[in-house]
Structure 1
Amino acid sequence: MKLLQKFFRPRPPIGDREALADFIDAQSAFIVQKGIYEYSRARAGHYAKVLFAEEGFAQAVERSRWQAYPLGLAMVGEMVDGVLRPHAGTQRRAVLDRMILVVLSVFDRYPVPPSIGEDAWLQARRELEQRLDLVGGHAPKRVMDIPEPLAETYFAMMPIHEKLRGRDFETIRNYLRVSLCNIHDELVDRIDAAAVTNTLLA
């Protein structure tokens, strides 16, 4: 019974900067890692357990998930901006700038992944900041359209040889679109957008 109570316990509301950062972290990691693992298992078929047990493939997965994590941050960060912007009024640029700092603080929670290296990791941080900065130059996108500019890059990061990927790009793109829409629905259910906006501006 306690297990069921824990499973069905409502998720905590998001009302401040720290809770927002935790949400961005968890959902960014979830969207990219779930796609990597599920696609790899689907491609490996009956040999999935054998493949995942191989050290070389495990290292490739580790590299892929760290490469993809900044893309997850970019997608979830842009989605968060779309939720907060209606509450920002004339301060929408200021809210975006502070939201970018939140996303970068999430990135900075993690040491340089050995599979990536310091130079590439710092470059990924710069690209993440640039992507989020550009969000302020246009109206909020539909959530399902946010992954579009990053989908091909994400697909190229899959730890499966490109000759074995076939015509799976559309599957991966649709996965990103559906997953981000689900994350958006959860955010809307949990966030006090006005309170978070005020916290970012304080």
Structure 2
Amino acid sequence: MKLFEKLFRPRPPIRDREELADFINAQSAFIVQKGIYEYSRARAGHYAKVLFAEEGFAQSVEHARWQAFPLGLSMVGEMVDGVLASQSVMPRRQMLDQLISVVLSVFDRYPVPPSIGEEAWLAARSNLAHRLDLVGGHAPKRVMDIPEPLAEAYFAMMPIHEKLRGRDFQTTRNYLRVSLCNIHDELISRMDRAALERAMTTAAVA
């Protein structure tokens, strides 16, 4: 009975900055890690268990997921911007500045991954902030179009040798598009828009 209740328990609403940060953190990690693991398993086929048990490959996966995490933050962050901008009474630029602060706070939750190194990790943070800042220079995109500029970079991070990847880029891009659309739908279903906007407005005034 407890398992049944856990499976069907409604997910908590998103009403403030911390809850939004938790959502962005979980969904950004999910979209990049799921793609890395599923692609690697598909490419390895029957040898997947053997491959994932190898220390060298495990280290490659660890490097790939941390390398890709800022891309996930960028995609999910831009999607959230589109949702908030659609009905917000706060000027979009002001709301975006608050959102960038939230996204970067998620990045800053984590210490420098050893497989990345401090210099590259700080550069990734700077690039993330820059990509999100550029979001304010154009109208919100369709959710399915948001991954487009980052899909090739994400695919290049897969811990599979380039010669073995074949013609899989389109599949990976479609995975990102569908996943982000699903994340968008979850945000809509969980977001208390009025409460979240009040929290973002209060932070902007402060």
Please tell me the TM-score bracket, short chain as reference.
over 0.9
Which residue identity does 2:83 align to in structure 1? V
Q: Which residue of 2 aligns with 1:194?
A: 194
Uncovered stretches (5+) of structure 2, i.e. residues with no partner:
none
Which residue identity does 1:118 align to in structure 2? E
Determine if contact 1:84/1:194 at 8 Å carries over to the other structure: no
- CA shift at 1:131, angstroms? 0.4
Q: Which segment drifts farther, 187-196 or 96-105?
A: 187-196
TM-score for both structures, normalised by structure 2? 0.97
- CA shift at 1:182, angstroms? 0.3
TM-score for both structures, normalised by structure 1? 0.99
- CA shift at 1:90, angstroms? 5.0
Q: Which residue of 2 aligns with 1:124?
A: 124
After the TM superposition, which segments of 4 or more aligned residues of structure 1 sit over 3 Å from their partners? none
Determine if contact 2:152/2:169 at 8 Å carries over to the other structure: yes
SS in 2 for 1:20: helix
- CA shift at 1:109, angstroms? 0.1
Which residue identity does 2:39 align to in structure 1? Y
Q: Which residue of 2 aligns with 1:165?
A: 165
Uncovered stretches (5+) of structure 1, i.e. residues with no partner:
none
- CA shift at 1:113, angstroms? 0.0
Correspondence 1:76-115 to 2 at 5 A: 76-115=76-115
- CA shift at 1:91, angstroms? 1.7
**RMSD (Å), alpha carbons:** 0.7
Once residues 170 and 193 of structure 1 are traced to their aligned partners in structure 2, the CA distance between those partners, rounded to angstroms, is 34
Q: Which residue of 2 aligns with 1:135?
A: 135
**Number of residue pairs aligned between Structure 1 and Structure 2:** 202
Once residues 141 and 41 of structure 1 are traced to their aligned partners in structure 2, the CA distance between those partners, rounded to angstroms, is 32
Shift in alpha-carbon separation, 1:187–1:90, aligned structure 2, 3 A: closer
The share of aligned pairs that are identical, in percent, is 79
